[in-house]
Amino acid sequence: MQNEQNRKSSKPASRPVRKKNQPEHSQTVIIPQLSPEVLERARRAAAEGKTAQQVEQEALDAAAAQTAQAAKAPQAELPRQTAQPKPSRPARKTRAEAEAELAQSIHDDHLWLNNPVMVRGLGLAPIVAMASDVDRALMLCVLSILLLTATRMLAVAVCHITGNRFRPVVYAYSAALIYIPVYILMYYIFGTDLSIMGIYLPMMVVEPVIVKRMEATELESIGEAFRRGINNTIGLCVAILLMGTLRELLAYGTVYEHPVLEVGLLPLAAQPAGGFLLLGLVAAVWTAVGGAYVHYKQEEVRHLYVDRKH
Amino acid sequence: MWTASTELTVLQGVAQFVSYAILAVFAENVVFSRAMGVSRLIKLVSDPDVSTWQYCIPVILVQLFSAPLGWACMTYVSPQLRLYLPEWLPIASLRPILYLTCAVIAMAVVWVLLGLLPAVHRTACREQLPLATCTCSVLGTLLLCSNQNYNLLQCIAFGFGSGLGYLFAVLVVDEGRRRLGSKDVPAIFRGLPSYLIYIGILSLAIYGLVGHGVAR
């Protein structure tokens, strides 16, 4: 009886005082999370002469704050967890997104799938008319390496200043300006051998592979111009060297003046007509292999995202 | 009144002009003999938005008007400039910027002249004018005239003939494009490879006609 009275009398004292908008389940959350720090704060409050209700209220507030802090912690860690790759499953994206990503990666692959020469048909004049042996092909490569990226970056920088007006003239003059130190450097490297390039060396300043970007309406950033310029340069150099080697082998039976065959199998390969024919055949094989690879990748995406409608 | 010698001189000049122009159209065609402007040509014949005339009229006019400027640059400007250049700066390094300036001046003249055309054609041609100016066929022809040391008449004839030759190449390749779209063409050859092989065969025909490679 005494115990029952004690329980009855103690009920109001032991029941925590809830705020009006305090959720009902807050007690079950708070009680197991009473830390030594919370108890210490309550002890200090009691020493300051606060009532039991005030002490409990402060303890509740402190515990609620601690719970909220604990709830925030996993959210903060979430981005780090999602940044880690999951090798077992494909990324959570739609099929359309995956196909768009594949198309973008194909577009950015200037070495193979979107080669400026073999696929997009740029830079044909110097390759067909000049890259008839490895020596000339090397000169064209050096010129492309020195000219292409620098021209693109300078032209983009000037276009940013001029408000993207007079694009073709800006691109062509940028290339012509950069050609001056490039020619001096190339003369230092190759000497009078440069004369065998004839009109095709200075003509590179208006070659579409150098100034192709002038046809596009949107203006890229300088960083993007650098990245794309490097990619285009690599793709162009690969095509030039491949054609130079092949044409020298077929026309003269040599590779970099080292005899490989007894006679040249196709002397016409040294002429522009042979260059056109040979480039057409190589481009056909190139695009066929590239197309087969693209088809395989598209089928792979289709297979991976077969259960997703969109 | 003209004398007989004057008439002979005029006739000789006309004959020389025509012969150099024909030489540039066929035997030394910018596309088939020297592969100049072939990238733009392939894009042009595949592009339904740009007609052949819309691009070729500016090319012909720019080549025609830039030719005398190129000759003046070769004859007067370059030798004078050479005197003032430091030793480490060869005149050859300035050739692109000099001849490009000639082409850009010609572009300005052509832009004004295109104002004589009806509004529809004028706008279309003016849109293509900058691209037609900054192309390999224009700069290449100027450089070639300079390398060959042509006189003024020969430069104008060769420049005009090169423009007509480019138009001739575009028309021939455009006609071939219709045939090359046939289903009989294997899939891997469709597009760029078939164009290149087709131009290669035409180039081979020119090579057979001339019998030797042309100067570069």
pLDDT on residue A108? 84
Q: Which domain holds residue A106?
A: 95-304
What's the CA angle centered on A167, arms A103 and A239, to 5 degrees?
50
pLDDT on residue A22? 47
- Closest approach of B32 to chain A, Cα-based (Å): 8
Show the tokens assigned to A27. Answer: 């007690």
Contact (CB, 8 A) for A272 and B35? yes
Q: Does A20 fall in a domain?
A: no
Contact (CB, 8 A) for B196 and B56? no
Q: Does A179 fall in a domain?
A: yes
CB neighbours of A304 closer than 8 A, spacing ≥ 6? A90, A98
pLDDT on residue B183? 86
- Separation in Å, CA B132 to CA A142, B56, B129: 27, 8, 5
Q: Is A309 exposed, middle or buried (0-12, 13-18, 19+ CB in 10 A)?
A: exposed
pLDDT on residue A201? 94
Tell me what the mean pLDDT of segment B88-94 comes to. 93
Would you kindly state where each structural domain of chain B is located, as residue ranges? 30-41+51-210
Residue listed under structure tokens 């579409």: A208
pLDDT on residue B156? 96
pLDDT on residue A8? 44
Cα(A78)–Cα(A25) distance, integer angstroms:
26
- Closest approach of B14 to chain A, Cα-based (Å): 28
More confident residue, B214 or B180: B180
Nearest CA in chain A to B204: A273
Tell me what the mean pLDDT of segment B189-204 comes to. 94
Nearest CA in chain B to A126: B35
pLDDT on residue B62? 97
> pLDDT above 90 covers what percent of chain B?
76
Cα(B26)–Cα(A54) distance, integer angstroms:
104
pLDDT tens for residues A39-88? 566 666 666 666 666 666 766 666 666 666 655 554 444 444 444 555 55
CB neighbours of B91 closer than 8 A, spacing ≥ 6? B78, B81, B82, B85
In this structure, of A2-16, A97-111, B6-20, B119-133, the range with the lowest mean pLDDT score is: A2-16
| Count of domains observed in chain A | 1
pLDDT on residue A25? 47
Helix (H) or strand (E) holding A258: strand A258-259
pLDDT tens for residues A99-134? 888 888 888 888 889 999 999 999 999 999 999 999
Q: Is A66 exposed, middle or buried (0-12, 13-18, 19+ CB in 10 A)?
A: middle
Tell me what the mean pLDDT of segment B172-197 comes to. 90
Q: Does A14 fall in a domain?
A: no
Q: Which of B39, B40, B207 sits opposite A273 (nearest CB)?
A: B207
CB–CB contact B193 A287 (8 Å): yes
- Closest approach of B19 to chain A, Cα-based (Å): 23
Cα(B22)–Cα(A228) distance, integer angstroms:
42
CA A116 from chain centre, in angstroms, equals: 19
Strand partners, A254: A259
Chain B residues with CB inside 8 Å of A198's CB? 147, 215-216
Contact (CB, 8 A) for A248 and B190? no
Show the tokens assigned to A280. Answer: 């057409």
Indicate the residue type of A27. Answer: Q
- When the pLDDT of each residue in chain A is averaged and rounded to a whole number, the result is 79
pLDDT on residue A99? 86
pLDDT on residue A24? 45
Chain A residues with CB inside 8 Å of B140's CB? 125, 199, 203
| Residue A15 backbone dihedrals phi, psi, to 5 degrees | -70, 125
A12 lies within 8 A of chain B by CB: no
Q: Does A240 fall in a domain?
A: yes
pLDDT on residue A72? 55
From the first residue on, what is the mean pLDDT of each consecutive set of 10 residues in chain A (310 residues)? 44 45 45 54 65 64 64 49 50 79 87 91 92 94 95 90 82 95 95 92 92 72 90 94 96 92 90 94 95 91 76
Indicate the residue type of A192. Answer: T
Nearest CA in chain B to A127: B35
| Residue A217 backbone dihedrals phi, psi, to 5 degrees | -90, -35
Q: Does A180 fall in a domain?
A: yes
- Predicted TM-score (pTM) of the model is 0.79
Q: Does A45 fall in a domain?
A: no
